[in-house]
Amino acid sequence: MENFEVDSVQEGAEGIDPSALERAQEKARENAKQAKKDKSKEAKQKQNEGALYDIVIQVIDHLGYNHELSRLLVQALSYNVPSKIILASVAIIFDSIQEYLGMNLIKDENESNFDQNKTLLPQIQNQDMNLKVKLNLNEWLSNFDSIIFEDPKFNFTKVLDPYTKDTLKKPLIELLAYSNQEYFQRENVDFNPQNVINFINLFSENIIDRLVKFKDNQFELEAQNIPKEDINFEDDPNS
């Protein structure tokens, strides 16, 4: 067997820059801290997902498995859509879910109590409906949007339709459209079902467009090795 000569640590260390070694050690410590932080975050996400999943199942049990909404909820779960996003998609028709997610829908019919200056999502501004309905739709969809962008990197593949690549997954669009139509019926708002679907599709495309921009910015940052926390991605006026 051949003998390979190996330099000793002392001999090999003569050419090492002490400052470079110190930087490498500091980087290793930072990576270890980040790995620990990521592991803790992942464990917390799994715990939260389990609790939220139980709430979705409670809704299904309450409605019964033959209910159309139950079918859509089961389908969304089968598409691996996070439970919190599923709950947000139907929150406008469940008071208990609104409370859980921190939503504040208007119950009072007196329009003098409404915030006339509240900024509405562009998709809602020109809709032909009363102000109360507009504000409640805005609250619901803004909440849905903000939940997705709580963790856009994680949620991107969870909500993106793998076939169209430019819309939310089909079960999510159907849940949003169902909930929108159900809310209109409760509020005695005349509507065309196809118009509701078109409206939800526009909303869906806007979310995916911004998620794609986030992903592209994230990829560019990682390539440049710029700390994510130094950059503000929420620069879209509709976010």
- What does the H/E/C string look like for 90-142? HHHHCHHHHHHHCCCCCCCCCHHHCCCCCCCCHHHHCCCCCHHHHHHHHHHHH
Q: What pLDDT score does 217 carry?
A: 82
Q: What pLDDT score does 107 carry?
A: 85
> What residues form DSSP beta bridges with 160?
168
Place of tokens 């809709």: 127
- Cα Rg of the chain (Å, integer): 24
Cβ atoms of 224 and 196 closer than 8 Å: no
- Position 118 pLDDT exceeds 50: yes
Q: What pLDDT score does 1 carry?
A: 47
Q: What pLDDT score does 50 carry?
A: 82
Cβ atoms of 216 and 100 closer than 8 Å: no
For 181-185, what is the mean pLDDT? 95
Distance set, CA 203 to CA 144, 168, 172, 185, 208 (Å): 11, 9, 12, 20, 9
Question: Lowest-confidence range among 42-51, 64-73, 131-140, 146-155?
Answer: 42-51
- Position 28 pLDDT exceeds 70: no
Q: What pLDDT score does 147 carry?
A: 96
Q: What pLDDT score does 2 carry?
A: 41
Instruction: Please name the amino acid found at residue 232.
Output: N
Question: Lowest-confidence range among 66-80, 90-104, 215-229?
Answer: 215-229
Q: Write the CB contacts of 99 (distance below 8 Å, at least 6 apart in sequence).
A: none
Band the pLDDT of 60: cuts 50, 70, 90.
very high
Cβ atoms of 127 and 180 closer than 8 Å: no
Q: What pLDDT score does 237 carry?
A: 42
Count other C-beta atoms under 10 Å from residue 132's C-beta: 18
Helices (H) and strands (E) in the chain, counts: 10, 0
- Position 15 pLDDT exceeds 70: no
Q: Write the CB contacts of 79 (distance below 8 Å, at least 6 apart in sequence).
A: 169, 170, 171
Cβ atoms of 114 and 132 closer than 8 Å: yes
Measured distance CA(152)–CA(15) in Å, rounded: 45
Cβ atoms of 158 and 82 closer than 8 Å: yes
